[in-house]
Structure 1
């Protein structure tokens, strides 16, 4: 009896440890050395993954269209905050993970906004200017205001897109696209390209770690040589990975159409009502602040 009690206690300890590890993983993906963001992992671990994927895709697309069409700074701010609330608070995604995914497009946004908020002139112009020795770099209050409004609109649109990709696995998004009767070749190419990007990123991360462990980036000259070697090896490995990827598909009876196991998720009335109220509130906010 004593031995049975010890065995049961050991099993409980192992089970508790497994639950703690699972909880730790579901708090958000970890940034391993040379690791890359796994968007699908975040989608599968989201607490609102059980929502109907068609509803989430439609809600995200309607939100993006409203952000672009209404062109209202108040609408953009509300969309940014509401989408972040749904993904982080309701979906259970860690805040730093949400920012990590948002940082990637945000870098390109900031660079693009510079072309809107600054300009060059041969003479002092605008309210703020800087002489560069051969020309003036200037900006105005209106240019800065337009740049900030444009940036908020872009971030709001991306926030709507993040609601879709961070809470809906790619297989479910593809299933929704099939319902729209898009060409099968287009859907298959989109899925394979999406999958292949992460395969190449993983290969590149391993090659980069191997080069760093051999001091391949110790100076500028060595870095150039290492970069060229990694680029050439990536080309060869990408061909090998593509062949292996296609062989794996053929081994699973691939006949030109990708098939996924689709889970039937019934849409809840409360979600439809909440989504309709949300869209109406955005339209009402635009009407009151236009």
Structure 2
């Protein structure tokens, strides 16, 4: 199970040792261009670049990446269909009669839905690139350098840690229940889920207490320390990202004006 967690992949990929500040800057710049783009083409190009970097450069397994990207794509397709039906305007592309109701799809709504879909795809691909190639500890360090309040960062780090504690305990208990046919039918499943919830509450409370005691014995005083240092990225890479951002921003405006 550990092999399938995002945290494990973030620590074991081909882009793991690329400067995290550079990856954050690159991903955020692509995300901003995607969100504010008024062209369908530019977000799709950015999505293609991010997917290529994540799958072929970072070597993230497809069996992990496809489900992460598949769910947003499904919602995006549903959005295109619904917006084509809700927003009327332009040419009528399709008309379906269901139970004496005439359901029509218009070009304005479909084009608007495709724009939302392309933005969503580019944004999700950019976010997945950052999440699957950069460990959370490094992201927390960068946020601390950006002067994010330490209280918020400490809470976020503790939450991130305890998510995996909860997941680990849940897997253990569910495996024990499965070996005893705890999910053989609906009635047994409900009973097992109730037991699972009760055990998880007690176990996670106990492990949280043990973690706090261990942290206190190591000098924890309410402020989590990040010991690693991250160097600033090279100027040439920063210039490359700026040039790339300007290129796609200008392409978005040109496509909007109908020149391409």
User: Residues 139 and 241 (structure 1 numbering): CA distance in 2 closer, same or farther, change over 3 Å?
Assistant: farther
CA contact (8 A) 1:51 1:265 kept: no
Alignment partner for residue 83 of structure 1, among 46, 50, 67? 50
How big is the shift at 1:173?
0.5
How big is the shift at 1:185?
0.6
- Structure 1's unaligned 5+ residue stretches are 1-31, 120-124
- Structure 2's unaligned 5+ residue stretches are 87-91
The match for 2:60 is: 93
Alignment of 1:175-214 (within 5 A): 175-214=141-180
CA contact (8 A) 1:46 1:91 kept: yes
The match for 2:193 is: 227
TM-score where L is the length of structure 1: 0.75
> Whole-Å Cα distance in 2 between the matches of residues 56 and 91 of structure 1?
12
Give per-residue Cα distances to partners, 1:151-184, cap 9 Å, x unaligned. 2211211111122121111111111001111111
CA contact (8 A) 2:7 2:135 kept: yes
How big is the shift at 1:96?
2.9
Whose Rg is larger?
1
Alignment partner for residue 122 of structure 2, among 156, 181, 188? 156
Q: In the comparison of the two structures, how many residue pairs are matched?
A: 250
User: Residues 211 and 105 (structure 1 numbering): CA distance in 2 closer, same or farther, change over 3 Å?
Assistant: farther
How big is the shift at 1:114?
6.8
Question: Are 2:49 and 1:63 aligned?
Answer: no
CA contact (8 A) 1:39 1:166 kept: yes
TM-score where L is the length of structure 2: 0.83
Alignment partner for residue 245 of structure 2, among 265, 273, 279? 279
User: Residues 258 and 107 (structure 1 numbering): CA distance in 2 closer, same or farther, change over 3 Å?
Assistant: farther
Give per-residue Cα distances to partners, 1:231-275, cap 9 Å, x unaligned. 222222222222122222212211122112314435223322321
How big is the shift at 1:81?
0.6
Give per-residue Cα distances to partners, 1:92-126, cap 9 Å, x unaligned. 3233332243346556666777764566xxxxx99
Question: Are 2:112 and 1:140 aligned?
Answer: no
The match for 2:89 is: none
State the superposition RMSD in angstroms. Answer: 2.8
CA contact (8 A) 2:79 2:113 kept: no
Question: Are 2:247 and 1:289 aligned?
Answer: no
